[in-house]
Amino acid sequence: MKPTDPAVTWLEDKPLGLAERLYLPLFIQGLSTTAKHMVSAKVTVNFPETRPTVGNPLIYRGVHRLNRDDQGRVKCVACFLCATACPAHCIDIVATESPWPDREKYPESFAIDELRCIFCGMCEEACPVDAIELTSLLDLTGKSREEMIFDKEKLLSVYDMTKDAEPMKSASLGGTL
């Protein structure tokens, strides 16, 4: 685009006023802003001792969990939609025939490599039965790469751990139960 293109709107700077030309008044203004911030309340927290507050757990994208249905079974139907949607290819599902009459398949194994995951939340969006969800757990640590591959049991245990604090999102959002 050329500078003379009619779509370009040129805005001119205002000419400098007296305070700007004298420099010192603006300097005092800037200094007072700095001084104000120096004594104002801090926005960071002392992390391990003080936990940061998660604004809205419904839209926070932390560690994954696999939800259970009302009978305590894994809700996943092994449709592979999450694995297909995943841009980081971090979800690995082995499907097998379901032992239960209400679905055809269920995941024999379901593993998420948390180190590869980019926490985009597309698996959560793709899931037709709201089985995979992102919690608001934000400190995800481990001592080895193997430890950071979360299998089905681990993901279900994350659900057991967080279900009281964070109920399944589907109910409040009008999804499947």
Partner 1 sequence: MNALLPPLETIAALVKIGLLVGGLMTAAAYLVLLERWIAAWVQDRRGPNRVGIPLTKIRLFGLGQPLADGLKIILKEDFTPKHVDKVLYNAAPLLILAASLAIFAAIPFGSVLPPLNIPGLPDPVPFLVAPGLDVGVLWVFALSSIAVYGVLLGGWASNNKYGFLGGLRSSAQLLAYEIPLGLGLLGVVLAAGSLKLDVIMNAQAQSGIWYAFSQPLGFVVFMVASFAEAARLPFDLPEAEQELVGGYHTEYSGIRLLLFLVSEFLHMITASFLIVIMFLGGWHLWGLTGSGQEVSWAGAFIRCGVLSGKVLGVIVFFMLVRWSWPRFRFDQLMSLAWKVMLPLGIANLVAVATVEEFRPQLVEAIGQTWATLAVIAGPWALFFVSLITAGMLTPSGTDNRPIRTTRPLDGTRSHPAQSLAPHELAGTR
Q: Give the residues lining the site for partner 1 (CB under 8 A).
A: 3-13, 16, 18, 20-24, 27, 30-31, 33-35, 37-44, 46
Closest CA to 158 of 126, 135, 128: 135
47 vs 100, which CB is nearer to partner 1?
Answer: 47
Residue given tokens 């309340």 in the structure block: 41
Min CB(54)–partner 1 separation in Å: 19
Q: Of 71 and 141, which CB lies nearer to partner 1 in the complex structure?
A: 141
Taking the complex as a whole, the smallest distance from the CB of residue 62 to partner 1 amounts, in Å, to 23
Q: Which is nearest to 111 in space by CA: 61, 69, 76?
A: 76
Separation CA 172–CA 126 (nearest Å): 18
What is the spatial distance between Cα 86 and Cα 132, in angstroms, rounded to a whole number?
12
Give 53 or 172: the residue with its C-beta nearer to partner 1: 53
Q: In angstroms, what is the minimal distance from the CB of 27 to partner 1? A: 7
